[in-house]
Amino acid sequence: MRELEGNPELSQRELAKSLGISLGIANYCLKALVEKGQVKVSNFRASDNKLRYAYVLTPQGLAAKAALTARFLKRRVAEYEALKAEIEALQKELGTEAAGKRAQVEDR
């Protein structure tokens, strides 16, 4: 959706190449987005090739993109917080072990 929003004039072939997917997958996904009403297809009039189309996100598509982005960011923040807590626990554990080792050395 991000690619289409930024470059609605991309051909399916160019879109597939840009995303690193096959042309068949790009076609399949675009058809699904059109059926869901998230993308509108129109002739790309500025092109000499009249078979070329522009894929424009509809308001529903923009809302879906925003919702996807919000869910993605929520997941990333949760992952970040979990990693941060794990790192702090490991640092605390290592700090406790280091303090214990220092005490053993000092007792000798």
pLDDT (tens digit per residue) in 39-62: 887 765 554 554 556 667 677 877
pLDDT of residue 101: 67
Would 35 be classed as within a structural domain? yes
Q: What is the C-alpha separation between 30 and 107, in angstroms, rounded?
A: 71
Would 76 be classed as within a structural domain? no
- Contacting residues for 57 by C-beta, under 8 A, at least 6 apart: 1, 4, 5, 8, 38, 39, 40, 65
Structural tokens at position 58: 């509809």
pLDDT of residue 72: 65
Count of the separate structural domains present in the chain:
1
pLDDT tens column, 55-100: 676 778 778 877 776 776 688 888 888 998 999 999 998 887 766 6
pLDDT of residue 100: 64
Which residue type occupies 20? G
Would 101 be classed as within a structural domain? no
Would 27 be classed as within a structural domain? yes
Would 33 be classed as within a structural domain? yes
Q: What is the C-alpha separation between 80 and 95, in angstroms, rounded?
A: 22
Would 32 be classed as within a structural domain? yes
CATH number, position 7: 1.10.10
Of 45, 73, 39, 76, the C-alpha closest to 59 is 39
Domain that holds residue 35: 2-57
Would 31 be classed as within a structural domain? yes
Would 71 be classed as within a structural domain? no
